[in-house]
């Protein structure tokens, strides 16, 4: 069966995505795609070496939008990045979409920036403009709009109060600013949540 005869090939073309063969050919640039037939990538999406696209990932750039994914970043099943005239820029070694996928959508005039080693999981979303700093995390089904999470170490850093900013829980976060080493846990409106140091949730044992 030729590429043109493959089920869904015409739909891919009409929706502006690469054919399966061209998606698989991204491997020549060091991109890891275990199942190219289940992944949708728009032409012009910039993927650096070591990016992993697990099954069910969608990277869609349209209306002049731009998507850039840094080296070593993993996009887990259910991750959907849509740059509809806007810019989505993901740094190196980020983790997006584990435990339920994640959606990033940047329309015209909006910029979504994800820092090195950041982690987004649990079925949440980023819309409008957001800056998720180096090592920062969004944990849970949280709708983030115009949020800023400060730079810091990753969740593996032994010093909790030096890690990137964190939002955890579920609900809506609008214009929330979480500095380095801090966290807001909420279930509803994050504007009603309490800003705490991360050591509150991860106290060190011993003296």
- The number of folded domains in the chain is 1
Q: Exposed, middle or buried, 177 (CB in 10 Å: 0-12/13-18/19+)?
A: middle
Residue 207, domain member (yes or no): no
Residue 116, domain member (yes or no): yes
Residue 104 Cα to chain centre, angstroms: 6
Residue 118 backbone dihedrals phi, psi, to 5 degrees? -70, 160
Q: Is the dihedral of CA 3, 45, 98, 15 positive or negative?
A: negative
pLDDT at residue 5 tops 90 = no
Residue 205 Cα to chain centre, angstroms: 33
> How far is it, in rounded angstroms, from Cα 158 to Cα 204?
9
Predicted local distance difference test score (pLDDT) of residue 206: 43
| pLDDT, tens digit (0-9, with 9 covering 90-100), for 196-206 | 999 999 887 54
Predicted local distance difference test score (pLDDT) of residue 8: 75
Predicted local distance difference test score (pLDDT) of residue 9: 84
Residue 72, domain member (yes or no): yes
| pLDDT, tens digit (0-9, with 9 covering 90-100), for 163-193 | 999 999 999 999 999 999 999 999 999 999 9
Q: What 8-state DSSP symbol labels residue 9?
A: H
Q: What is the CATH number of the domain that holds 67?
A: 2.160.10.10
Q: Is the dihedral of CA 20, 25, 26, 30 positive or negative?
A: positive
| pLDDT, tens digit (0-9, with 9 covering 90-100), for 6-65 | 667 889 999 999 999 999 999 999 999 999 999 999 999 999 999 999 999 999 999 999
Residue 174, domain member (yes or no): yes
Predicted local distance difference test score (pLDDT) of residue 205: 55
C-alpha gyration radius of the chain: 18
Q: What is each CA distance from 44 to 60, 111, 120, in whole angstroms?
A: 10, 17, 24
Residue 205, domain member (yes or no): no
Predicted local distance difference test score (pLDDT) of residue 4: 52
SS3 state at 4: helix
| pLDDT, tens digit (0-9, with 9 covering 90-100), for 87-145 | 999 999 999 999 999 999 999 999 999 999 999 999 999 999 999 999 999 999 999 99
Residues 99 and 81: beta-carbon distance below 8 Å: no
What's the domain range around 125? 3-200
What kind and span of H or E run contains 15? helix 9-15
Residue 206, domain member (yes or no): no
């Amino acid at each position: 069966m030729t590429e043109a005869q493959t089920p869904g090939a015409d739909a891919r073309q009409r929706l502006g995505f690469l054919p399966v063969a061209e998606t698989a050919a991204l491997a020549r640039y060091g991109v890891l795609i275990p199942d190219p037939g289940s992944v949708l990538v728009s032409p012009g999406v910039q993927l650096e070496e070591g990016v992993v696209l697990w099954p069910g990932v969608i990277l869609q750039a349209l209306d002049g939008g731009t998507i850039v994914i840094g080296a070593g970043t993993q996009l887990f099943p259910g991750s959907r990045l849509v740059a509809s005239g806007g810019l989505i820029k993901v740094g190196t070694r980020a983790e997006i979409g584990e435990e339920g996928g994640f959606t990033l959508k940047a329309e015209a005039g909006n910029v979504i920036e994800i820092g090195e080693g950041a982690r987004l999981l649990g079925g949440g979303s980023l819309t409008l403009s957001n800056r998720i700093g180096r090592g920062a995390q969004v944990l849970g089904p949280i709708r983030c709009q115009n949020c800023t999470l400060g730079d810091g170490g990753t969740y593996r850093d032994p010093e909790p109060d030096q890690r990137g900013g964190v939002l955890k829980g579920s609900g809506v976060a609008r214009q929330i600013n979480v500095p380095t080493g801090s966290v807001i846990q909420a279930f509803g409106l994050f504007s009603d949540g309490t800003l705490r140091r991360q050591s509150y949730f991860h106290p060190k044992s011993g003296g």
